[in-house]
Structure formats: structure tokens, C-alpha cells
A = this chain, B = another copy of it.
Amino acid sequence: MPTIDGDRLLKDQRALADFGRWKTGVHRPTLSPQDMESRKWLASRMTEAGLDAEIDGIANVIGRSKVSGPHLLIGSHTDTQPYAGWLDGAMGVIYGLEIARAFGADGTCRQFGIDVASWADEEGHFGNLLGSRSFCDSLPQTEVDACRHRDEGTPLRTALAAVGLADKPRSKLEPGHYVGYLEAHIEQGPKLEASGLRIGIVTGIVGHCNFNIMFEGEQNHAGTTPMALRKDAGVALIKLAAAILKRFPEVAGPESVWTIGKITLDPGFKSIIPGRADMLFQFRDVDANVLKGMRRALDELVQEANAGPCKATLVLGPQTAPATMAPRFQDALERAAERHAPGKHIRMPSGAGHDAQILAARLPSAMMFVPSIGGISHHHSENTKDEDLVLGCQVLATAAELILRGA
């Protein structure tokens, strides 16, 4: 059995958190100086671990095992949300590195190849899961050309050129090369901690649909325009929002979530009737049929809203399909979890998106969660107990062996 070195693991986790350290967390946006420094550091650690390491043309860091036996790919991402936590995806990348080292050091596992990846821009600074999509051949050149930084507007091409990656090719998945893909991540939610559990075995990754719903009415003076003559875009928005909150529990599945993240009334002054209003609405579920049902309900509600004095328009934004995790890999994770933390594991969906949902379209894939203290994520106070970090890595290593042995 490959045995991980907990001290070495934690030391590397902490070393990685030095790049872009901010308060108790990390600020490491994609292609920032600190992001590129961390990628070079990671590549050097991969090389020390005996892997062939490269940073490819989209900034993926990939370390390839030189052995000829069956290969398993383990990865996640090391970029972060702005001023966010030190673990998030970075944990899953260092897990891969440590498991590669543990396999290399174990006489019975040496014939198995553990390849390790840090996918670029999982956090969406320039686009949507760019690194893993590039690797899986689902990122067309035209999309790369069109991507811009979400805040600053810098073209992705310019940013890649600035860090010396303009002429590097993008690495692609070779069909048949891998047995599958594993990814570990912090849970980013409260379920494991609240239930006193230590390992989450992901059954599927939710698909999600984003919408911008726009309302057009008539801007007017809030004192002199009688109620009966108003075309108040804000009122139209509130009525639709309330109708969504009432209807969605009836059409949603038990694990569905839906969120109104932003509302804007225009012009947004106390004495002016809003002439325009916008809201961002999102829903998620692991079941494609449930997603369809929610979409149908939303369409109906928007249509009903259009019977009022304002025009409502539904614009579909980014969406992802749900991804099922390979049942055989889930079983391996469960057996490994039962070995190292008996009774302290559970199967659960992932409410957040991950690179594994991209890999799952090409390879049998699975994911594993460790508990998030207080359920906190995307904040500098995000954390996981040291013993949970070490346990998680050992469970993943053991599962990797079971998978590679076909056991």
C-alpha cells in the first residue's frame, strides 16, 4: 500500500500558500505574477518527484510519470478566487504530488504511473474551466482568442504572451493513456462537519444554469406618477422573484439549489420609478431532468410576467451539464475511506463545479471531499484540520491503488 508522508504533504501545502499569501489566505488569480511563480515552483517539485513536468500553452502544469504501466491522472487547480482560501483546489494538486511520491517509494506500486495536473483558470478569471477544457479538447481556438479578464478586460492572449506562453502548444489528453481521473477538493459547504464525518465521496457534480432576467418599464417621478399609470420595472422584478421563490420548491429535487445573486434597479434613486431592472438567477442540480423541470418552470413564470405592464426578457448565461462520477471509482473511494476512517464517510453530490466535470466526459472520473471548517470557502478564513488533510490524502492514495489494480 502506498503510504503518504503527512509532514511532507503539509509542508508542501504551506509552501504553496506562500505564493500570493494574503491574511490567512491566498490571492493568486490566473496568470498573475504569483500564480506563475507558484506554477514554476510546482513544476520543480514535480521534477524532484521524478515526473516529467511542463507548463503548457494555457498554463496547465502537468507532471508525467515515466513508468510504462497503467497511468492514473490526479489533479485540481492552484489558481484562486480573489483574496480567497489557501486550500480549495491547491489541496488536490498537492495530494497528486504526494501520491506520485508515495507510489514511487512503494515497491509494490512502482509499476503504476501517477500523473499530476494543475488545471489553469478553474476559477474563471478569463473563461470557464479553461485548463481542463483545453486538455480535453473542448476549448476551441476561437474561444481562446475571445477570452478576456473578467474585471480588467485584458485579452487572454495578451496575458499568456506576457508570461512567455504565447508559443507553447496546449497539451491534449491522449486517448487510452489513462485508467481515469481523480480529484480531491475541500467540501466548501457545511455537511461533513455538521455530521461529524471526514470524507465525502462525490456521486456527481451538479450542472448549473445562469440567467439574466431584464425588465423594461418606464422611468418616472415617484411623487407625480399615479400608481395606476406606472410601468415600474422594479415592481415587475419583485413579483417575478417572489413567484420563483414560491414555485421552485415544487419543481426542484431534494438537493437542488437556486439563488438570486444580484438585483439592479435603474437609475436606483429613492424618488425615481425604475425604468429598467435586472436580476441574476441561477439553479443547480445533479439530475439533468430536474434541471429541465426548473428551466420549464422559469420559462412559464417569465411568460406570465410578460402579461404585466413591463417587458421581461430571459437571457441564458453560462451553463454546465451535470456529470456523474464513475461508480467503480466511487466504490474504490468508499473502500479506502472505510479502511482509514471507518464509518466516517458519506456519498454526496458536489454543489460546486470542478475540473472533474470536464474530465468526466473523456475519462472515468471521481472526486473526494474533506471537511471545510464552518463550511467556509472563497474567503481567507477557509480551513481544514491538519489531520483531515493527511487522512484525505491517504484515502485518495489507497483508492488510487485499488483503481490501478482494478480491484
Chain A residues within 8 Å of B, Cβ to Cβ: 187-191, 206, 208, 210, 220-227, 229, 232, 234-235, 238-239, 241-242, 245, 249, 252, 255-265, 268-274, 280, 282, 284, 317, 350-353, 375, 377-378
Evaluate contact between B189 and A224: CB separation under 8 angstroms: yes
- Residues on the B chain within 8 Å of A317, using CB: 270
Closest residue on chain B to residue A218 by CB atoms: B375
Report chain B residues within 8 Å CB of A188. 221, 223-224
Q: Report the separation of the CA atoms of residues A394 and B220 in the bound assembly, to the nearest whole angstrom.
A: 29
List, in ascending order, chain B residues with CB within 8 A of A229's CB. Answer: 190
Q: Which residue of the partner chain, among B210, B257, B261, B270, contacts A272 with CB atoms under 8 Å?
A: B261
Indicate the member of A224, A252, A258 with the most B CB atoms within 10 Å: A224
21 residue pairs from A and B, CB less than 8 Å apart: A187-B224, A189-B226, A206-B223, A221-B378, A222-B259, A222-B284, A223-B350, A225-B257, A225-B351, A225-B375, A232-B259, A238-B241, A242-B242, A259-B271, A259-B272, A261-B269, A262-B269, A262-B270, A263-B265, A270-B282, A270-B317
Distance in angstroms from A195 CB to nearest chain B CB is 12
The count of identical subunits is 2
Chain B residues lying within 8 Å of A242, measured Cβ to Cβ, are 238-239, 241-242
Bound CA span A84–B258, Å:
41
Of chain B, the residue at the smallest CB distance from A224 is B189
Chain A's interface: helix, strand, loop or mixed, by majority? Answer: mixed
- Once the chains are docked, how many angstroms separate the CA of A261 from the CA of B221? 11
Instruction: Give the chain B neighbours of A187 by CB distance below 8 A.
Output: 224
Nearest residue (CB) in B for A237 is B263
Q: Given contact pairs A235-B245, A259-B273, enumerate 7 new A-B contacts (beta carbons under 8 Å).
A: A221-B351, A234-B261, A238-B238, A241-B242, A261-B265, A261-B268, A262-B265
Which listed residue (B226, B235, B271, B350) contacts A191, Cβ 8 A?
B226
Set B210, B239, B260, B378: member contacting A235, Cβ < 8 A: B260
- Within 8 Å by CB of A271, from B249, B261, B265, B268, lies B261
Residues of B contacting A224 in the complex (Cβ-Cβ under 8 angstroms):
187-189, 350-352, 375, 377
Q: A239 to B234, Cβ gap below 8 A?
A: no
A238 CB contacts on chain B under 8 angstroms: 238, 241-242, 245, 260
How close is A188's CB to chain B, nearest CB, in angstroms? 4
A188 to B223, CA, bound (A): 9
CB distance from A82 to the nearest CB of B (A): 11
Q: What are the residues of chain B within 8 A of A210 when measuring CB–CB?
A: 270
Q: How far is the CB of A244 from chain B (nearest CB, A)?
A: 9
CB-CB under 8 A from A378, the residues of chain B are: 221, 272
Q: Separation in Å of the A221 CB from the closest CB of chain B?
A: 5
Q: When the two chains form their complex, are residues A352 and B223 in contact, meaning their CB atoms are under 8 A apart?
A: yes
**Which residue on B lies nearest to A206, using beta carbons?**
B223
A262 to chain B: which residues have CB within 8 Å? 265, 268-270
A191 contacts across to B, CB distance below 8 A: 226
Given A239-B242, A282-B270; A261-B222 close (CB under 8 Å): yes
Residues of B within 8 A of A272 (CB): 259, 261, 378
Do B270 and A223 have beta carbons less than 8 Å apart? Answer: no
